[in-house]
Amino acid sequence: MKFAKIIFWIAGIWGVLVLTPLYFMFALIGQKDPPPITHPAFYYGFVSVGLAFQFAFFVIARDPVRFRPMMIPSVIEKFGAGASFAVLYLQHRLTPGDLALGCVDVVFGVLFLTAFFKTSN
């Protein structure tokens, strides 16, 4: 149970630190990595949903046994993000640096899956 607590706290903190600045980088992303974003609702929607999921990680971290079923969607979220990054990279639509961020999600996905199996009811 301690393993799950630590992993989900770290993942939540990491996610908040990585996602929160995106609220203030909309124009900068278009300048540094053209073309500019053309659908701000999709962009801000992604950031909002991603940030909300980080708070789900905090909830799981507080009581992993009680919230063990929520670990499954957490694994899916992490592997889904990692798979998306991999596909975009293979299509030459993502830089190696951005792919590295996707690898972080895959690592968390593996750790979440491990936490699921180590946390029993």
Domain extents in the chain: 2-118
pTM for the model stands at 0.92
- Neighbouring CB atoms inside 10 A of 50's CB total 17
pLDDT of residue 121: 61
Share of the chain above pLDDT 70, in %: 99
Q: Are 94 and 30 in contact (CB under 8 A)?
A: no
DSSP string computed for 30-52: HHHSSSPPS-HHHHHHHHHHHHH
Tell me the per-residue pLDDT of 14-72, one tens digit each, with 9 for 90 and over.
999 999 999 999 999 989 888 899 999 999 999 999 999 999 999 999 999 999 999 99
Answer whether 30's CB lies under 8 Å from 36's CB: yes
pLDDT at 34: 87
pLDDT score for 67: 97
